[in-house]
A and B are shown apart, each in its own frame.
Chain A
């Protein structure tokens, strides 16, 4: 631990360039080395890493992950520790001391009591705290589940409910609120309960598939072989079939468990992580990771198996701990620190995206390299779809999407390809509008507070300088979402059609988890003071401000079409084709397009002198009428009278009488302008303009008519100097004619 403070600044980008990978861990890790520690425990309910010593427990808040965070300490009494979990309001520490005893420790009062069960008939397999309204803590015992309410006054647990079952072992994750209980000879019969704030759901009993190696040997399923995975608000269960070397997946619904297909395995030791709804299957023995996006039905991996990369590891190690073991994953780099070994035997994977190097007392967080993922596939639409689903690094995904689309157009890829890509973006935006996840980020986007620096711990996003504006959420919003989340059911053992709402709820949850302010007030506001923005280690920081990668039509204009227009050489009709495809998508999604897109189309068509087409576009209302469009038509119409007329007509149809009359006068149609002005009571234009126009036309009759018009209809005109002046001019004109 002593080396922590003196560790040199991370050498940014040092480890970033070597080796190809789609997932990485970022140096430095969280060091949780405490002298006298009796082991490391993970409390996924509060996302705490716990390291108890003889009379103390050190706890690090690991959600959000910050490697420089200092631990908090609590005093506890001595004794063996099997498991340790803080209550969800972090007021109580529960420590499983033995197979039949759990000790409770009130952090404020220091009061303590123990709960025991009958040692002869049952033993405690584990326990977890819940946010259910019916109970506070659930004990999993060999005889079933005991649901208790925690009563601090009477220093006891009150039994609320019992579920009698034979349990061999269980798996539980807090994010899914789901406990799976294994029973049977092969431990492949499962009972499931979701104990969420809304209610307690009992899943139908189901069996997992196990291939038989020989006729007589029946493999037994171990707890290590079953994973509960939460992606996109859906809950899956993954099960390793060691004989078939397959990873079976099951989707868990409220009323059914449906097998979804299987993924191949290339290693005897398997671990599963979820980063930003992407499934990482760690093939530990093979030291590679395969990424899957379960959103789509296909079970094809996102990309080929690749090693996990360690990023930002300092080349010249300041510490003297190097043991000379070479890291296989870093491809022969001169990294030789034993800390730098990925997929070491001592790695313990924590839900959902952490890994703990138990030997070295290090905690790493998995990250996705969305840029590497996007550049490794040529299937642009599916890459965009993938990126659009990213919430964690939403801003980065957004910039990548914009960059990809821009490149697509600049490279003159076939129009249908661009059309598909643009359609992905527009549909995703439309969807985010409907679910409301985009609007959350919309308001701050307008003011564009670019406070957070891009630390560049990553290979930088294309064009970060230009587009690197980040969005800061108001913290009130964050708190709101947190409380909302607390009140609502977490996620989804819902039927399929409800998965959308569950999805958005899940987003809320994540944003809350990622946020600075946790949903619990009491713990660690002081401790979180150490959470500094410029800690340059977590590349996901600035992106976490934005919850959706959705791109508004305006952004597509500003960051795709407009820059492409500036950069592109040659025929602009290709860009017109791309924009039309964009309009096509926007129209089918009923999304309003801002006039700047139309203005751009006009400019492009006019540049190409395709005025006939332009006319067609206006007449068919492909370019929706607006003042901006009308003015651009007038501007582009300098070279083409027909186009100018279209602009004039549009002004008239929009009822912009003042502008219309003014332009009529400018074009010399002053009599028409007068007629029109009288009809629509336009009195904002100076008479002198009309008179001057009539004078310029050198037609004394017309001048007289205009003069008469104003004397008749404009009260007080007779007394103005203009009246006298033009009367004089008129007289001169007439006399010169008679002479």
Chain B
């Protein structure tokens, strides 16, 4: 049974405002993974979580518990909307060093939720529209399962943190210590020169003026890296995450068979696992609803599954098309995808144009286009007329300046750089990080856990000043594991094969800071 092997991880979403009466407890469950688990077990997990929340709220009404460490399990809590909770339960390993980092797990929960909200609106709003909750469950189920299955397959030079394959074989793998030099919920940016930057901005303005006077937004990616955005930071993170998962040339090609050589051994089991997941056991099938469109044709309501893989393709005109949002039966024109913006709460059409490595995402307010699809087509046409020359130019310019997959590799260093103010991170290429020993990675994982603890403490004290922080650990394998936090910027670094003195390590950080961070992390 595939299902039983997934027991090590449980993920649930429940609503504290529902099912408060005896016998209606099932009503509060909105999502449970694995779905095949008997309701009694599901309820016991949720019951425990609910109890813990109620208890901790006594002491901290504003922010209830974040994490509970039991002997064999960790419970990671996240309250994305008032009284709607997401809880992830992971099994602890027998090693003394923790393999999970709470914060990394919580970021997964956050990402699931914010992506869901981007495509479907808030869960609460959905529940209010449909008090029965059946539709909400169906949406959540298909969405989260698609997300977990969102096997953006790891590329050989992947330096991006959003690219997990959650299902390896039958098991759901979550970000572990191996991913300690990555940061979910941030974007990775392409470094460009001034000239290219002006060129890009010029393109952005032309793009956004293509819909007349309507205020539009845009996002430009080169490869899997962000080049420009006019969206708010939160919306940028969401759309960037989605783009890297599904839209970039990379994401598009990963669906192709050219890929299989990397995963020869596991393809078969992968398929098996998938079949397991797509067909929840008969017991809860009715409860969460069938997510399969083919089997759900009798449903009068169409569940949009934006995260379904291999559904996007590049059209002749350079625009990416998908049937995920349905199609007009008569004309067989695919409906334009729509997303909700977090900041303004507006519903936007999402048009994606791709030229080689360049991906342009244009967001047009639905309300501003009265004639629907026709209007979108007109805007798309306008974009091509106005901007195609600039697009070619920008792509050419960026390609010329593109340093390749290891552009951000700094030899001798394995690092992670986070700009908390802008939610931007940069890290050593994944292939380089894998050369680190397990000890180094575990030490870094632990260090990050410490830093996060320290940061959340500082937040609780609610000081206006962001404190500087510096930590250096000599790991078991004599590697230096270093972190520096200074006013919103974080630097994590592993130096293997380094000299044994602390002075050496500190010098190395200084050099790195001066060279690559404009001296942000330099002290004294």
Contacts and interface: CB of A to CB of B under 8 A. Distances in A.
Contacts of B205: 415, 576-577, 580-581
Contacts of B488: 642, 645
Interface in A566-625: 571, 573-574, 576-577, 580-581, 583-584, 587, 610, 612-613, 615-617, 619-622, 624
Nearest to B228: A616
Given A577-B209, A615-B422, A668 B464 contact: yes
A624 B198 CA distance: 12
Given A587-B198, A612-B233, A642 B520 contact: no
A348 B330 CA distance: 76
Nearest to B522: A679
A649 interface: yes
Interface string B192-232: 11110111011001101100010100000000000011111
Contacts of A675: 523-524
B25 interface: no
A579 to B, nearest CB: 10
Contacts of A610: 230
A709 to B, nearest CB: 13
Contact of A612 (B236, B386, B468, B519): B236
Interface string B257-287: 0000000000000000000000000000000
Most chain B CB within 10 A, of A415, A620, A652, is at A620
A669 interface: yes
Given A672-B468, A679-B524, A642 B422 contact: yes
Contact of A621 (B197, B199, B233, B422): B197
A374 B518 CA distance: 50
Contacts of A669: 465, 487
A495 interface: no
A669 B488 CA distance: 13
Contact of A620 (B194, B215, B233, B464): B194
Nearest to A652: B519
A119 interface: no
Contacts of A621: 193-194, 197
A531 B464 CA distance: 72
B22 interface: no
Nearest to B523: A675
Contact of B209 (A414, A584, A652): A414
B229 A616 contact: yes
A160 B198 CA distance: 63
A612 B199 CA distance: 18
A415 B236 contact: no
Nearest to A669: B465
A419 B202 contact: yes
B128 interface: no
A672 to B, nearest CB: 7
B421 interface: yes
A587 B519 contact: no
A615 B285 CA distance: 48
Contacts of B208: 573, 577
Contacts of B229: 612-613, 616
Most chain B CB within 10 A, of A416, A616, A641, is at A616
Interface in B63-102: none
A734 interface: no
A716 B395 CA distance: 62
A117 to B, nearest CB: 67
Contact of B232 (A419, A612, A678): A612
Contacts of A576: 205
A653 interface: yes
Contacts of B520: 649
Interface string A626-666: 00000000000000011001000100110000000000000
Interface in A670-719: 672, 675, 678-679
A586 B511 CA distance: 35
B519 A653 contact: yes
Q: Do most interface residues of chain B lie in helix, strand or loop, or is the interface mixed?
A: loop
A584 B518 contact: no
Nearest to B464: A668
B515 to A, nearest CB: 14
B82 to A, nearest CB: 26
A412 B209 CA distance: 11
A585 to B, nearest CB: 10
A415 B206 contact: yes
Contact of B198 (A619, A622, A652, A668): A622
B246 to A, nearest CB: 23
Contacts of A584: 198-199, 201-202
Nearest to A653: B518
A546 B465 CA distance: 56
Given A622-B194, A645-B488, A669-B465, A571 B202 contact: no
B325 to A, nearest CB: 27
A19 B233 CA distance: 59
A587 B195 contact: yes
B210 to A, nearest CB: 9
A641 B519 CA distance: 20
B487 A612 contact: no
Contacts of A642: 421-422, 488
Nearest to A616: B228
Interface in A197-232: none
Contacts of B192: 620
Contacts of A649: 518, 520
A580 B232 contact: no
Nearest to B234: A612
Given A642-B422, A675-B523, A580 B233 contact: no
A583 B233 CA distance: 25
Contacts of A580: 198, 201-202, 205
Most chain A CB within 10 A, of B195, B198, B487, B520, is at B198
B230 A613 contact: yes
Contact of A645 (B194, B206, B386, B421): B421
A583 B198 contact: yes
A645 B466 CA distance: 12
Nearest to B199: A584
B194 A587 contact: yes
B206 A571 contact: no
A619 B197 CA distance: 10
Most chain B CB within 10 A, of A416, A419, A621, is at A416
A616 B423 CA distance: 12
A99 to B, nearest CB: 66
Contacts of B465: 667-669
Contacts of A679: 524
Nearest to A581: B202
A653 B232 CA distance: 27
Contacts of B386: 416
Contacts of A416: 206, 386
A412 B421 contact: no
Contacts of A574: 209
Contacts of B213: 412
A613 B192 CA distance: 15
Contacts of A571: 215
26 contacts: A415-B209, A416-B206, A571-B215, A574-B209, A577-B205, A580-B201, A583-B198, A587-B194, A612-B232, A612-B233, A612-B236, A612-B422, A617-B197, A620-B197, A622-B194, A641-B421, A642-B422, A642-B488, A649-B518, A649-B520, A667-B465, A668-B465, A669-B465, A669-B487, A672-B468, A679-B524
Interface of A: 412, 414-416, 419, 571, 573-574, 576-577, 580-581, 583-584, 587, 610, 612-613, 615-617, 619-622, 624, 641-642, 645, 649, 652-653, 667-669, 672, 675, 678-679
Given A612-B236, A616-B229, A672-B468, 19 more contacts: A415-B209, A577-B205, A580-B205, A581-B202, A587-B194, A615-B421, A615-B422, A617-B197, A619-B422, A621-B193, A621-B197, A622-B198, A624-B194, A642-B422, A645-B488, A653-B518, A669-B487, A675-B523, A678-B524
**Closest 6 pairs (CB-CB, A-B):** A620-B197, A577-B205, A642-B421, A621-B194, A584-B202, A415-B209
